[in-house]
Amino acid sequence: MRSTYLRGMGLGLTTGVITTLGVMVGLYSGTHSKLAVVGGVIALAVADGLSDAIGMHISEEAARTSTKRQIWEATFFAFFSKVAATLSFLIPIILLELREAVPISIVWGLILISLFSYYIARNEGENPYKVMLEHALLTVGVVAASHYIGVLVHEAFGEHSI
């Protein structure tokens, strides 16, 4: 796979999974509202997808190691993979109750991160299981922090706290 595709996909897929899980879990823990979670995921797909793509574009320009075509390839793949990864989380949210959809989404996110981590580690000649474990633990850390932040926000600003 071309390095520009891989860089764009690496950014888009990773941030698509980790940011989406963080937003989903935080909104669920804070609101228990399907509307809030669905709205948050859709807004995230568009706004953060564009943000990541622009960030990738500027980063590639600043590195001065890529041609204009390679810069635009990385930009496109960052956006496309971010939007695809983010929107994939809507499937369980729409089809299931939130209390079921959120844990399934966490497992789905860990599968995506693990598969991409395995691929990258194998290409780099590293131990894939060590890389997969490292990335899974980082993802779980984001999910846990987002859950507790959502709980704190609910306690501070929930309908019965004011």
Nearest partner of 31 among 161, 162, 137, 158, judged by Cα: 158
Work out the angle at residue 15's Cα, subtended by the Cα atoms of residues 61 and 154, and round it to the nearest 5 degrees.
135
pLDDT at res. 65 = 82
CA end-to-end span of the chain? 54
DSSP-H helix ranges across the chain: 3-31, 34-43, 49-63, 68-88, 90-95, 98-124, 128-157
Cα–Cα dist 85/112, whole Å: 9
Residue tagged 């390679």 (tokens): 70
pLDDT at res. 160 = 67
pLDDT at res. 66 = 77
Q: Which two tokens stand for residue 90?
A: 């809507």
CB 60 within 8 Å of CB 77 = no
pLDDT at res. 85 = 97
The amino acid present at 13, given as its one-letter code, is L
Cα–Cα dist 159/35, whole Å: 16
Cα–Cα dist 22/137, whole Å: 14
Average pLDDT per run of 10 along the chain, which is 162 residues long?
A: 82 95 97 96 96 93 87 93 97 97 98 96 95 97 97 88 54
Residue tagged 């959120």 (tokens): 102
